[in-house]
Amino acid sequence: MANTTHEQASATANEALTPLGESHRVFQWRDHMALWFSLGVGLLVMQIGAYLVPAVGTRDAMLAIVLGSCIGAGLLAWTARVGCESGLASAGLMNATYGSAFARLPVVLNIVQLIGWTTFELVIMREGTQAIGAQAFGWSLGGPLGTILTTLLWGAVLLALLAGSMVKLVRRFVSRFGLPLVVLSLAWLTWQFAARLHAKGLEAFWTRPGDGSMGMFGALDLVIAMPVSWLPLVADYARHGKRSTGGLGGAFSGTWIGYVLANVWCYALGVMVVSVAEPGTDLVAALLLAQGGLVALGLILIDELDNAYGDVYSGSVSAHSLQPRWSVRRWGLLLAAVCIGFALVLPMHTLEPFLLLLSSVFVPLYGVILGRLGTGNAPVPLASRRVDLAAAAIWIGGIAIYHACAAWAPQWGSALPTLALTFVLALVTRPAQAGGRSALAQSRG
């Protein structure tokens, strides 16, 4: 009877809204770095890099890539620190900032965007598999049957991973084996396309002007959009990290370094690929034309799987926060099945509007969260508060400001002005808390 009662209590416990105990914190600096390098690598990132040119010149594109990656990864690392120190998942941070009732809105939006991202990942893996099959074996997998089989193949692997432990996957596979393999594949592709650029003339590549269809700040927005899309996920993993004695320890530095390296590398590789490929050649076909590109693309596709896994796992944590009677694992299997179904029927959409739409929601969302919880002495809203009207108003106003900047002052970008304004407003409107205890201090009990 005692065991039954314990199991029932565990089944209904809301893991997403409860700080993770010290005994469950096993991630070291290397684990954070390997995870976020791996999550930062992907064909989608390379594709966005390819969008930058010839819209802007090569030098402007590279500057936007470096600056945007450093800023975007800095936001990820800052959020990772809050998640690690508080032990709260992303849904818990939203509850602490916006109130238990209003937080359901951003949590639901997060689940929707994660379903969308996972569907994109499955489509990317399917199309990569079809291209590899045609190139290596002469298989025609582009028809209805081939599409169904390749989608179900990757979907089955995703379901198998979700049936296991996230912590073990990160520590035993991603950190030990996945990271070296994906680094080797990126290094090989970089060497191949750098050699082609050298043959064509590096000077001409570096000094090539843009066509004026995108400004520097617009390019910066597009680069920042990719790391920003991970903001609602980072705390779900950072909470498993060991707390550091210093202020900028494992979760912060590991997340920042891992993601900056991956994001800069993949964006830059996308620029290189599109600069040497024949006009009209898609990214996957261009990668396959490189010597050894078949093997390198295969390794990147395998790495793409952990992006899909990361999206679904985080989505399942968010869904569990809304309905804790279903475990995180059960939610993960359900969401994965939904994504597989969508991947079978939805076409591949243009990425740029999708990414910028996500930024318009999550840049101000996390500007408010960091303004309230991201400083060392940020008071936590009262636990009984269902709606923090000030935080909710700043977030909704931030979305409007983001789109207003895009419409009326595109030359200045949207992400950075919106982030700065929402952060400052959230900081100065923090509710006072008796005793002045901070968010991090309260989470430590």
DSSP code string of 142-183: -SHHHHHHHHHHHHHHHHHHHTS-HHHIIIIIIIIIIHHHHH
Question: How distant, in Å, are the alpha carbons of 11, 44, 61, 183, 386 from that of 270?
Answer: 45, 9, 11, 16, 45
> Which tens digits make up the pLDDT trace of 120-169?
889 889 988 988 888 877 788 878 899 999 999 999 999 999 988 888 88
Q: Is residue 420 part of a domain?
A: no
What distance separates the 2 farthest-apart alpha carbons in the chain? 76
* Helix, coil or strand: residue 379: strand
Q: Is residue 373 part of a domain?
A: no
Give the C-alpha separation, 243 to 29, whole Å: 10
**What are the two backbone dihedrals, phi and then psi, of residue 379, each rounded to the nearest 5 degrees?**
-65, 145
Give the C-alpha separation, 122 to 155, whole Å: 7
Number of domains in the chain: 1
CATH code, 102? 1.10.4160.10
pLDDT along the chain (445 residues), means of 10: 40 80 87 92 86 90 95 94 92 94 94 90 89 82 87 94 85 77 90 90 88 87 88 94 67 94 95 86 81 83 88 96 94 96 76 72 94 70 72 96 91 89 94 51 44
Q: Residue 441: what pLDDT?
A: 43
Task: Give me the helices (H) in 201-230, please.
Answer: 202-207, 216-228
Q: Is residue 414 part of a domain?
A: no
Give the C-alpha separation, 370 to 415, whole Å: 15
Q: Is residue 374 part of a domain?
A: no
Give the C-alpha separation, 295 to 53, whole Å: 26
Q: Is residue 13 part of a domain?
A: no
203's tokens: 């000077």
**What are the two backbone dihedrals, phi and then psi, of residue 141, each rounded to the nearest 5 degrees?**
-110, 10
Parent domain of 57? 38-350
Q: Is residue 59 part of a domain?
A: yes
Closest CA to 374 of 111, 110, 84: 84
Amino acid at 1: M
**Contact (Cβ atoms closer than 8 angstroms) between residue 344 and residue 210:** no
Closest CA to 44 of 355, 340, 374, 406: 355
End-to-end CA distance of the chain: 31
Peptide bond into 54 cis (omega under 30): yes
255's tokens: 């997340």
Amino acid at 126: R
Radius of gyration of the chain (CA): 22
Q: Is residue 119 part of a domain?
A: yes
**Contact (Cβ atoms closer than 8 angstroms) between residue 374 and residue 439:** no
Q: Is 380 left (phi over 0), alpha (psi -120 to 50) or beta?
A: beta
Q: Is residue 297 part of a domain?
A: yes
388's tokens: 């923090």
10's tokens: 């565990």
Contacts of 426 (CB under 8 A, 6+ apart): 367, 368, 369, 370, 371, 372, 390, 391, 394
Give the C-alpha separation, 357 to 360, whole Å: 5
Burial of 394 (0-12, 13-18, 19+ CB in 10 A): buried
